[in-house]
Amino acid sequence: MLPFTGGQFLANLVAYNEAIWPVQLAAFAIGILAMVLLIWRPRMADRLIAAVLAVMWLWTGAAYHWLHFAEINPAAYIFAALFVVQTAVLGYAGVGKGQLSFRLYSGTAASVGISLIAYAAVLYPVLGIWTGHAYPEMPVFGVTPCPVTIVTLGFFLLAKPPVSPWLFAIPLIWSLIGGSAAFLLGMPQDWLLLMSGVIAVCLTVASRRKSRIGRSQL
């Protein structure tokens, strides 16, 4: 049983969106920037994309979970800590060490990655509106946990293998926790989130094995 009702969840979401406006626009803008960097590929593109993802996780952990969601769910303090840890992992591996290399390429993993990014940025809010959850009664791209997790998994699928398993741990956990909103809170846009973590991990493992086989045959 959840410690809050569906009505309380939506009311809390409305209060959050109204309190942080117009941060949503800034989040969408840096999301577009990350996509442009993925295509344009200037110097430092990989580190900048990782930084964009890290900022989204940090903001969502602190502003959403800690300062707002915790008002109706005490477990949000734990969620906030997890999101801050993911921020640190992204900052260390992607920004500090430059261990993430994003690029557009052909293949199943890349196609799924692009689809997840497009879903988080466009189809997620459209589906929310279609099912009766128009703004401000909707999770918004870049500033709420579920879209942030989906877009992050999308970018990870566009990263050159091997990608550290530590980068996937928390997004996978949240895909299961947050994805439960699909049936517990009547949020059909989160059905894809529920499956996205497992799909992304499986595709990444397959890509990693393929890369190892390719290197061993050289």
Domain count, the chain: 1
In a domain, 12, yes or no: yes
Query: 163: domain range?
Result: 6-209
Task: Please report whether residue 214 resides in a domain.
Answer: no
Residue-averaged pLDDT of the chain = 93
Domain for residue 217, yes or no?
A: no
Tell whether 11 is covered by a domain: yes
Residue 192 lies in a domain: yes
| Separation between Cα atoms, residue 23 and residue 8, nearest integer Å | 23
Q: Categorize the per-residue pLDDT at 137 as very low, low, confident or very high, splitting at 50, 70 and 90.
A: very high
Global pTM reads 0.94
**How close are the terminal C-alpha atoms of the chain, in Å?**
54
Domain annotation covers residue 189: yes
Instruction: Copy the structure tokens of residue 42.
Output: 């200037």
Residue 1 counted as domain residue: no
Whether residue 206 is predicted with pLDDT greater than 90 in this model: the reply is: no
For the residues 73-79, what does the mean pLDDT come to?
Answer: 97
Asked if residue 139 belongs to a domain, the reply is: yes
pLDDT tens digits for 159-175? 998 888 899 999 999 99
Tokens of 176: 């299961």
